[in-house]
Structure 1
Amino acid sequence: MSFDLLVLNPGSTSTKAAVYRDERLLKTRSMVHTNQDLAPYPALNDQLDYRVGMVRSWLALEGYDLSQLSAVVGRGGIIPNIVSGGYLVDSALADCLLHHTVFDHASNLGGLMAREFAQPLNIPAYIYDAVTSDELLPEARVTGFKEVTRTSFCHVLNARATGHKYAQAMGRRYEEMNLVVAHLGGGISVSAHSHGRIIDSVSDDAGPFSPDRGGSLNMLYVLDLCYSGKYTKAEMLKKLRGEGGMSALLGTHDCQEVERRIAAGDEWAALVYQAQALQIAKGVGTMLACFTGLIDAVILTGGLANSKLLTGKVMEYLHSLCRVVVIPGENEMEALALGGLRILRGEEDVHQFHPVCPITQGS
């Protein structure tokens, strides 16, 4: 039996849409939203009808008959108390996406958009592998601060999709394997995958610096900066995300530009790139310690994994410790489609969202 899926991925300045027939991409479009376009919609949820209307118009221009769809899959939002995999967008999840997300983010519209398309067709709407999916082991949650409990925050969608892709290439199931996946992009996260569960992770503000993230460093240094009187909280946040990492050190987050400088003999650029590779390897090493069994592979993925220079440097640090494979790209649309397809084929169970109060220390 063949399945058609509509995949929706809303971002802050664009909405990506695609139609898949099983694993095959039929149509895709990225619709850009300027500040002027979004100005009439002061709240994020106000954009729902606007974005849905744009996708409907595109599909109409393509002459695609919506009645052919078997399901609609939207990007998962910033949702509390969920695990990885697919969730049915029912009334409880829709209410959460509208009123109770962890914070505002364009991805919160993904499930709502999917439901708008699915309900009139009487077909299921799903989200898949939301970024806040959290399956950390209890011991991975504990920190040295009584007031702080760790939660998982990593590139869940691409990390798990890449794990599935690697397992399939090996003739095995993702749920049978122990993998460490390093997602290398504008932000870098590293996650430990044990038999289908992300048991620990290093988020993009707690591990390697990246093209525009500051990464982790000794907390005393950060405290000194915070209380130096030189920076506001907003400015410190930009040092963590947006203006840190290679952007701060080299004035650019374009790795191709960095590599051009290295080829031209720029020793500082070469040192920063080497440091970037070392920090990625150290982040992977942290996750290697999470397993009590053998590791099947370390996977380097994400947009930066297209850089053979960078991945080659990372592999120099790790090759004697474990098997390292490179599967570049982010492939978010494909990941959403394949997740929905596994649900439709009965290869995965779909979760139902149950809003509960989060467990805190001492409760």
Structure 2
Amino acid sequence: MSYIVLAINPGSTSTKVALYEEERPLLELSLSHPTEELARFANVIDQLDWRRGLILQALRDHDFDIHRLSAVIGRGGLIRPVPAGVYEVNSRMRYDLRNAQMKHACNLGGLLAAQIAHMAGPGIKAYIADPPVVDEMDDTARITGMPMCQRKPIFHALNQKATARLHCERAGLVYEESNLIVAHMGGGISVAAHRRGRVVDVNNALDGDGPFAPDRAGSIPSSELIKICFSGQYTREELLKYVSSKGGLVAYLGTNSVMEVMKRIKEGDNRARMMLDAMCYNVSKQIGAMAATLSGKVDAIILTGGISYNEPVVEYIREHCGFIAPIAVYPGENELESLVKNALVVLHGVITPKLYK
């Protein structure tokens, strides 16, 4: 018996969906959401029914009957910290996704999966896998100089784990026996130390930690940030947006597109070159920190995410970090395929999904 899986990956301006029969892709779509349409909704969670309708219409347009589905799996959201793995979407998870303190489109993934699975018929289950809140950090990695401010992981866990395993398969390594540094470089940047199958340290790629990114501020000198907070020039909401969506390259150059920055550099824009170099410098420095976390015993450094398509970025990091370990590049993200694979190991009985509680 072959299984058909629908994977759903909601982002801030698009919803990506894919249909697979076993590991054979049947359909992959990216449903774009123009800014003017999104402006109708006060909150991300209010987009749930609208996005579900778009997905169902797209499937109908391609003559697919959802009653043929074996399972639906969505991108995980900002729920409570959990170990890595596949989770069945239950009522507790749905509640936490709807009421998540941090608002992000990824919170819609499990909810969309649950609703469409319910519509597909009895016995069709909804899952998520390796959500951004996967927490396998060493306890010492959490501690900062202020007891009331502990470090916590929010990162690209799904793509980090999937790309690490893919590299190990191709390099003849065993993920659970390897030491890897994985840098996912997209709108946010997460750099993680994978020690024998566990992400023992990683920066919070959403909430102000680690390298600055195309639209995120990364780590900021504490005293300077406190002064700005009490300057009266910015509201709380404005500063939070700097941290999570209006900082980084956007704050300096007015764009979060590295391709646009590269274009400006080719046209002789020295400021653009300096800011891109600074971002690469910060990524390289974070990779070096993760090498120390692994005591210098690193089997490979893996670069992934959309920014990895840019050869000058890769070469900058290679020049600064190549002495640590061999560098492997897996551009883009294969999150839909990764979601499907996670659903299939459940459907085939290889693993039992974990219980969210």
Give the alignment's TM-score, normalised by structure 1.
Answer: 0.88
Kindly provide the CA deviation profile for residues 300-349 of structure 1, in whole angstroms up to 9, marking residues without a partner as x.
11111100011101110011121111111022222211222233334444
Distance 2:36 2:322 in 1: 50
1:1-363 to structure 2, matched below 5 A, reads 1-34=1-34, 37=37, 44-99=44-99, 101-119=100-118, 120-204=121-205, 205-292=208-295, 294-354=297-357
Tell me: CA distance 1:11–1:264, structure 2 relative to 1, closer, same or farther (3 Å): closer
Kindly provide the CA deviation profile for residues 162-184 of structure 1, in whole angstroms up to 9, marking residues without a partner as x.
11211121233432322111111
Classify the secondary structure of the residue corresponding to 1:244: coil
Unaligned runs of 5+ residues in structure 1 are 355-363
Classify the secondary structure of the residue corresponding to 1:58: helix
Tell me: CA distance 1:154–1:39, structure 2 relative to 1, closer, same or farther (3 Å): closer
Unaligned runs of 5+ residues in structure 2 are none
Contact 2:296 2:324 survives alignment (8 Å): no
Contact 1:85 1:128 survives alignment (8 Å): yes
Contact 2:201 2:290 survives alignment (8 Å): yes
Give the residue type in structure 1 aligned to 2:286. G
Contact 1:206 1:216 survives alignment (8 Å): yes
Tell me: CA distance 1:298–1:348, structure 2 relative to 1, closer, same or farther (3 Å): farther
Kindly provide the CA deviation profile for residues 49-72 of structure 1, in whole angstroms up to 9, marking residues without a partner as x.
433333222222222233432211
Contact 2:86 2:127 survives alignment (8 Å): yes
Give the residue type in structure 1 aligned to 2:210. G
- State the Cα RMSD in Å: 2.4
Contact 1:80 1:102 survives alignment (8 Å): no
Classify the secondary structure of the residue corresponding to 2:194: strand
Classify the secondary structure of the residue corresponding to 2:183: strand
Tell me: CA distance 1:69–1:222, structure 2 relative to 1, closer, same or farther (3 Å): same
Count residues with an aligned counterpart: 353
Give the superposition deviation at 1:90. Answer: 2.3
Kindly provide the CA deviation profile for residues 246-296 of structure 1, in whole angstroms up to 9, marking residues without a partner as x.
223333332223223333333333332222221111011111122257321
Give the superposition deviation at 1:39. Answer: 7.0
Kindly provide the CA deviation profile for residues 119-148 of structure 1, in whole angstroms up to 9, marking residues without a partner as x.
324122101111112121111122211212
Classify the secondary structure of the residue corresponding to 2:293: coil
Higher mean alpha-carbon deviation, 189-198 vs 248-257, is at 248-257
Give the alignment's TM-score, normalised by structure 2.
Answer: 0.90
Give the residue type in structure 1 aligned to 2:238. E
Distance 1:279 1:328 in 2: 19
Of all paired residues, the percent bearing the same amino acid is: 40
Give the residue type in structure 2 aligned to 1:31. L
Distance 1:141 1:85 in 2: 21
Distance 1:104 1:192 in 2: 26
Give the residue type in structure 2 aligned to 1:117. I
Contact 1:78 1:131 survives alignment (8 Å): yes
